[in-house]
C-alpha cells in the first residue's frame, strides 16, 4: 500500500516539498496546510486574547510587540515592573497595547490569581505562550538545590498551572492555542545546563502528551505548538566566540518564525529548520560522537566565558528581582498602562511611565 502511494507522482512531489520545507529552502506548500503561509506581519490576530509569560524582555517582548501590532489583545506576565513599563511604552510606539501583570511563576496560587484577573480584564484567553525560563549556568554539583527547584518551577511546572488556568475555557469553545517555547537544549545535553536541559525536555514531553490527550478527547480545535530554537542573541549585539559553528539566532526572526508557526498550526518547529536533521547522529551514532558534535557547536554557555557583545543563556528579570511571596490578601494596583499584583494592603504606585529608561539589550538562549 505504501509503495503504491509513493509511486504516484503527486505524492512524490508533496514528499519532496515537505523535505525542502523542513530545511527552510522553500515555503510550505498550500497542499500541506490548512492555512496558507504568509508574511507574519500581514496576518490579523483580531479577536485573539494572548497571554505571554516572561513577556517583558527578550523573545517574550518581541512576541508581545509583534502580536499587538497585528491587533491581538496581549497580556504579558513578568516579575520586573520596570521591564513591564518599558514594554508598554514600546507597544505604544510601534502600535498596539499590552496589558501588564507582575506574577511570580514559582507560586502556583499567584498564577491562578493573576490568571483570573487577566480573564476579567481582557476576556477569555484564546492563546497561551509559555515563554518564561531561567538557567543556572553552573556545573551540576555547583548548582544550589534552591536554584534547581526554581528552574523547574519557572521552566516547566508553571506550564502546568498556566495551562490549567486557561485550557478549560478553550475546550468548552473548542478553540485555542497552547504554545511552548522550549529549546534545542531539550534535545541535547549541554554542560553547565543540566537543570535547564532537563526542564526543556520536560516541556517537550508535556506539550506533546497534551496534544495527544486533546485529540483523543475530541478537542481538536485546541492546537499546540512546540518551538525549539537554538541560541538567541539580542539584535543589537554581535556574535560571541562561545558558539563555534552555527551563529546565534536573531530574536526578532525567531519571533517572526514563531508567529508563522502559530498561524500554520505547526506541531513542532526547529530553528534553524535543518537542526532536526543534525539531531540524527544522536540516534544512529555512538554517544561519544554526539557529545563531540555538541562540543563543536557550543564552547561554553556560562556567563564568565562570554564577552559582553555575545549571546548568553536567557536569564529573565526574575533572577534579578526579589521573589514575590504569595498572600491571600493580594491587591491589584492600576495605572493607565499597567496592572500589577502586589502583596501589600495598599496599592503601591508604579514609576511614571514617561520617565522609564530604555531597557538594555538582554542576552538569550
Q: Which of 148, 145, 156, 233 is nearest to 194 (CA)?
A: 148
User: Residue 174, by phi and psi: left (phi above 0), alpha (psi -120 to 50) or beta?
Assistant: left
Closest CA to 344 of 355, 354, 331, 325: 331
CA 158 to chain centre: 12
Name 317's Cβ contacts closer than 8 Å, sequence gap at least 6. Answer: 56, 57, 78, 79, 80, 82, 83
Half-sphere exposure of 94 (CA within 13 A, CB side): 20
- Catalytic annotation, pick one of 21, 101, 153, 196: 196
The torsion angles phi and psi of 67, rounded to 5 degrees, stand at -70, -35
Residue 21 bears catalytic tag: no
d(CA 313, CA 187): 16
Distance CA 157, CA 56 (A): 20
Rg (CA), the chain: 21
Write out the catalytic residue numbers.
196
Amino acid at each position: 500500500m505504501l509503495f503504491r502511494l509513493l509511486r504516484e507522482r503527486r505524492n512524490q512531489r508533496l514528499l519532496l516539498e515537505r523535505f525542502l520545507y523542513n530545511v527552510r529552502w522553500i515555503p510550505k506548500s498550500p497542499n500541506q496546510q490548512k492555512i496558507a503561509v504568509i508574511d507574519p506581519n500581514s496576518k490579523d490576530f483580531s479577536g485573539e486574547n494572548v497571554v505571554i509569560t516572561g513577556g517583558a524582555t527578550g523573545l517574550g517582548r518581541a512576541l508581545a510587540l509583534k502580536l499587538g501590532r497585528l491587533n491581538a489583545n496581549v497580556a504579558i506576565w513578568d516579575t520586573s515592573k520596570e521591564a513591564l513599563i518599558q514594554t508598554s511604552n514600546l507597544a505604544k510606539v510601534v502600535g498596539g497595547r499590552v496589558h501588564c501583570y507582575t506574577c511570580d511563576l514559582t507560586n502556583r496560587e499567584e498564577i491562578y490569581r493573576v490568571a483570573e484577573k487577566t480573564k476579567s480584564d481582557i476576556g477569555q484567553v484564546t492563546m497561551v505562550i509559555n515563554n518564561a525560563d531561567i538557567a543556572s549556568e553552573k556545573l551540576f554539583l555547583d548548582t544550589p538545590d534552591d536554584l534547581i527547584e526554581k528552574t523547574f518551577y519557572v521552566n516547566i511546572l508553571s506550564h502546568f498551572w498556566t495551562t490549567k488556568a486557561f485550557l478549560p475555557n478553550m475546550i468548552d469553545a473548542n478553540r485555542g492555542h497552547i504554545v511552548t517555547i522550549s529549546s534545542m537544549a531539550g534535545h541535547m545535553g549541554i554542560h553547565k545546563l543540566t537543570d535547564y536541559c532537563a526542564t526543556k525536555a520536560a516541556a517537550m514531553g508535556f506539550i506533546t502528551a497534551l496534544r495527544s490527550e486533546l485529540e483523543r478527547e475530541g478537542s481538536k480545535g485546541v492546537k499546540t505548538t512546540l518551538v525549539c530554537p537554538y541560541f538567541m542573541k539580542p539584535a543589537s549585539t554581535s556574535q560571541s566566540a562561545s558558539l563555534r559553528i552555527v551563529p546565534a539566532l536573531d530574536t526578532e526572526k525567531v519571533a517572526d518564525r514563531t508567529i508563522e508557526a502559530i498561524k500554520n498550526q505547526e506541531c513542532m518547529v526547529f530553528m534553524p529548520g535543518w537542526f532536526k536533521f543534525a539531531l540524527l547522529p544522536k540516534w544512529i551514532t555512538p554517544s561519544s560522537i554526539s557529545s563531540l558534535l555538541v562540543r563543536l557547536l557550543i564552547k561554553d554557555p556560562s556567563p564568565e566565558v562570554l564577552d559582553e557583545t555575545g549571546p548568553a543563556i536567557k536569564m529573565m528579570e526574575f533572577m534579578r528581582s526579589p521573589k514575590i511571596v504569595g498572600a491571600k490578601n493580594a491587591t491589584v494596583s492600576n495605572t493607565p498602562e499597567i496592572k500589577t499584583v502586589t502583596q501589600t494592603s495598599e496599592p503601591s504606585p508604579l514609576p511614571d511611565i514617561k520617565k522609564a529608561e530604555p531597557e538594555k539589550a538582554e542576552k538569550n538562549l
